[in-house]
Structure formats: structure tokens, C-alpha cells
Amino acid sequence: MQPTDGPLTFEELQLATRNRGMPLEALRYDITPVGLHYLLIHFDIPRIDVRDWRLTISDFNEPVALAYDEIRALPRTTLPVTMECAGNGRARLHPRPLSNPWLNEAIGTAEWSGTSLWPILERAGLPRDTAEIVFRGADPGIQGGVEHFYERSLTPAEVQRPEVLLAYEMNGRPLEPQHGFPVRLIVPGWYGMTSVKWLTSIRTVTVPFTGYQQTPAYHFTGSEDEEGEPVQRIRPRALMVPPGVPDYFSRHRFLDASRVAVFGRAWSGSAEVTKVELGIDGVWSEATLGESVGQFAWRSWSFAWDATPGEHVLSCRATDAAGAVQPIEQPWNYQGMGNNSVQTVAVTVR
Ligand SMILES: Nc1nc2c(c(=O)[nH]1)N[C@H]1C(S)=C(S)[C@@H](COP(=O)(O)O)O[C@H]1N2
Ligand SMILES: [Mo]
């Protein structure tokens, strides 16, 4: 389907009503309540009876099949992780790639509990000729004309990171069906597509994996025919809680002239966020940074704005320790991936 500047299509609406975003006022919480965390489900939420469910680890030296209780009995780790969909910002591109039409809200930070993946794979014994490890979800469907189970791969170097988890709890409770019950992968720092939900199997392959969700999907590419570069780590982004009160339908903001605390969160999957700036009518000033919620989670920021009567446009942008900074305008790409161009909020000050 060709990208368009036309009106929102019925198919985009159909996806948008299933895959909800996080309302930006929820940037207030260090840890996003489960019901406010964004959701992205390509096919249907599978129904899994945990008594029959096994995680099979095959094509390793010593294959195993683990039951839910066996995974829960392994050493437990809890990590706050900011997760973002790679398609976040897609609907702000011109022309608009046709898929879930995210603006800015495909984001959330949860406290994931589970067990570190690598000790399990190490025990199963990674064959010497392993190129990649493939993670399969229980959800089948058809995308791009290809019928498949949702599957993604990682290299041996990536799965050895101790923070890569087999997660069975979100914010201290068993995963809800929509977030991957009984067990999902969590890959901190990478865009959300890597964190495979409803895991059923882990296997090794001797050549790089080319299942649909790995290639052609999730690539920065200029056209349908080009392969492009794989999408991996989360680009830096700052978002603000839109200040004042909204008009119901337009979401335009209104507030009274005063000193206003503008605040939000910022994150990056590659390096710590070291600077957030607030733009007021195109003039940038540095905001005050709060502590990070965790090594793999967002940090808060705030700025005291002397709001004077009139029409104003606020924006915010993050810079990370690797020197990456959010662009004002984003180079276009065919799948609408990684659009971290700055958020803008129009405000009427009375
Ligand atoms: N099995 C499976 N895993 C999946 C998906 C999916 O459709 N099926 N969607 C992926 C994508 S694109 C994202 S952004 C995250 C979203 O996770 P959440 O819904 O828990 O926020 O899950 C990922 N894992
Ligand atoms: Mo996603």
C-alpha cells in the first residue's frame, strides 16, 4: 500500500482502535500503570492455557522445554524499562505510511520481572555455528501476503546482555493477555518489536533470519523494493504533558497567563539523555533534568515558563550522551520507522 497524504483510512482506524497509545498526561507516572501503557498487537491476542504451555528451546546442544512454574522458579530480576514502538511518529510523516497511525504516544515504562535469558541459553549450549537466535510468538497471521507466526531474531552478542529478560510479570502482576501472557521477551534499549510476546519457542539458525518481521519489516528504506538498514535501538525523544486544559475535539490547549511548570520525560535506547530543551515559539532553553527511573528507563524534565497572553507553540527535544539529538524535521522513510522529530503543542494563553 502506497503512503498517502489523504484522509485517515478505515484500515488505519481499525488498527488504531486496537493498538492504543499512552495518553500523554500519563508521562506524570515514573512507572506507567498497566492500563495506560501503549499496546501493539499485529494479529490477534492468542489464548494460551498455561497448564499446556511450554517454552521450547530447540536447535541447541541440549534442547529443553520449560513450563511456566519452572521459569518462575529461576532467579528473579525486576527492571524498569521504557518501551517504544518503532512506528511511533509515523502519522506525522508526509506522505503518511499506511500502518498503525501513531502520533507520539506509542510509549510506556513498566517494571518487568522475570529471569535473565542468557543463563538458560548457556545451559542449553549454543551450537558453535549459530548466526542468530529466533524468538517465536504464539500469534499467527498474514502480513505483506506472507503467512507466519510473529518472529524476531537477535545475535548471540545481544542475547548475552544480562538485562535481556524472559518476563512473566509487569508492574508486579502476571502479564495481562495483551502484554504477552504467560512469558515474553524484554530487550531493553531496542524498539518494541524485538520484545516478542506470547513466547513459544527459541531456536538457533546458522544464517541470518529473514522471517517477515525481521526482513523486509522494520527497516529504514526509501521504497518498497529497497532492503535498507535494520531498525534496532530507540532514538532519543522527549515528550511533554500538554499544559493547560484541552478543547475536547481539537485537543488544542488553553491556559491562563502565569508561571507554568512544563514537564515531561525523555529517553534514548543508545545512551543516557544528557540534555532536554524546551522551545517556546522557536527559541530553545535548557530544561532541568530529573533522575532516571532506571538504566533502561526514561528520566523526567521540567521548565518554568512565564506564559504571556497570545498564541504560542511549545516543543521539546532530547540529546543523548552519544550526541544524538532529535530532528525538527525527519528524513522520510517508506515504513514510517523511528520518526523522533520533535513534538509541538499549540497553546492559547488567556
Ligand atoms: N508475538 C508478538 N510479539 C510482539 C508483537 C506482536 O504483534 N506479536 N508486537 C511487537 C511490537 S511491534 C511492539 S511495539 C511491542 C508492544 O508491546 P506492548 O503491547 O506490550 O506495549 O510488542 C512486540 N512484540
Ligand atoms: Mo511496534
Question: Which of 230, 263, 290 is the endpoint of a domain?
Answer: 230
Q: How far is the CA of 307 from the centre of ligand 2 (A)?
A: 36
Name the closest ligand to CA 193. Answer: 1
Q: Which H or E element spans position 81?
A: strand 77-84
- List 233's β-bridge partners, or say none: 190
* Of residues 64, 63, 65, 58, the one with CA closest to residue 205: 58
168 and 254 housed in the same domain = no
* Of residues 169, 168, 74, 170, the one with CA closest to residue 122: 74
172 and 244 housed in the same domain = no
Our mutation pick for probing the ligand 1 site, out of 36, 42, 190, counting the most ligand atoms within 8 A of Cβ, is 42
Query: Which amino acid residue places its CA nearest to atom 5 of ligand 1?
Result: 41
134 and 273 housed in the same domain = no
* pLDDT at residue 1 is higher than 90: no
41 and 139 housed in the same domain = yes
114 and 88 housed in the same domain = yes
Q: Is 91 helix (H, G, I), strand (E, B) or coil?
A: helix
Ligand 1 atom closest to residue 37's alpha carbon, by position in its atom list: 21
208 and 64 housed in the same domain = yes
CB of residue 152 inside a 6 A radius of ligand 1: no
Residue with cell 490477534: 44
222 and 243 housed in the same domain = no
Ligand 1 atom closest to residue 198's alpha carbon, by position in its atom list: 1
Please tell me the predicted confidence (pLDDT) of residue 10: 98
Query: Which amino acid residue places its CA nearest to atom 16 of ligand 1?
Result: 40
Q: How far is the CA of 1 from the centre of ligand 2 (A)?
A: 18
* pLDDT at residue 295 is higher than 90: yes
E strands in 187-309: 199-205, 219-220, 229-230, 237-240, 245-246, 253-255, 258-267, 273-280, 283-286, 288-292, 299-307
Ligand 1 atom closest to residue 85's alpha carbon, by position in its atom list: 14
Q: How far is the CA of 184 from the centre of ligand 1 (A)?
A: 9
Q: Is 194 helix (H, G, I), strand (E, B) or coil?
A: helix
Cα separation of 137 and 90, whole Å? 25
159 and 201 housed in the same domain = yes
Cα separation of 213 and 211, whole Å? 6
Q: Which CATH number is 318's domain given?
A: 2.60.40.650
CB of residue 231 inside a 6 A radius of ligand 1: no
Please tell me the predicted confidence (pLDDT) of residue 318: 98
Residue 5 resides in a domain:
no
Name the closest ligand to CA 82. Answer: 1
139 and 170 housed in the same domain = yes
Domain that holds residue 110: 10-230
Residue 146 resides in a domain:
yes
Residue 247 resides in a domain:
yes
Ligand 1 atom closest to residue 213's alpha carbon, by position in its atom list: 12
Q: What one-character-per-residue DSSP string does 240-257 give?
A: EPPPSEE-TTT--EEE-S
Residue 270 resides in a domain:
yes
How many CB atoms lie under 10 A from the CB of residue 35? 9
Residue 185 resides in a domain:
yes
Non-local (6+) Cβ contacts of 181 within 8 A are 48, 50, 174, 175, 198
Residue 217 resides in a domain:
yes
Question: Which of 230, 264, 299 is the endpoint of a domain?
Answer: 230
Please tell me the predicted confidence (pLDDT) of residue 277: 98
Residue 339 resides in a domain:
yes
Q: What percent of the chain has pLDDT over 70?
A: 100
134 and 269 housed in the same domain = no
Question: Which of 204, 230, 256 is the endpoint of a domain?
Answer: 230
Q: How far is the CA of 41 from the centre of ligand 1 (A)?
A: 5
Residue with cell 492500563: 35
CB-facing half-sphere around the CA of 265: CA atoms within 13 A: 26
131-189 pLDDT, tens per residue?
A: 999 999 999 999 999 999 999 999 999 999 999 999 999 999 999 999 999 999 999 99
Q: Which CATH number is 64's domain given?
A: 3.90.420.10
198 and 304 housed in the same domain = no
Count structural domains, the chain: 2
Q: How far is the CA of 75 from the centre of ligand 2 (A)?
A: 29
218 and 281 housed in the same domain = no
Work out the pLDDT band at 4, boundaries 50, 70, 90: very high
Q: What is the mean pLDDT of residues 106-135?
A: 98
Residue 2 resides in a domain:
no
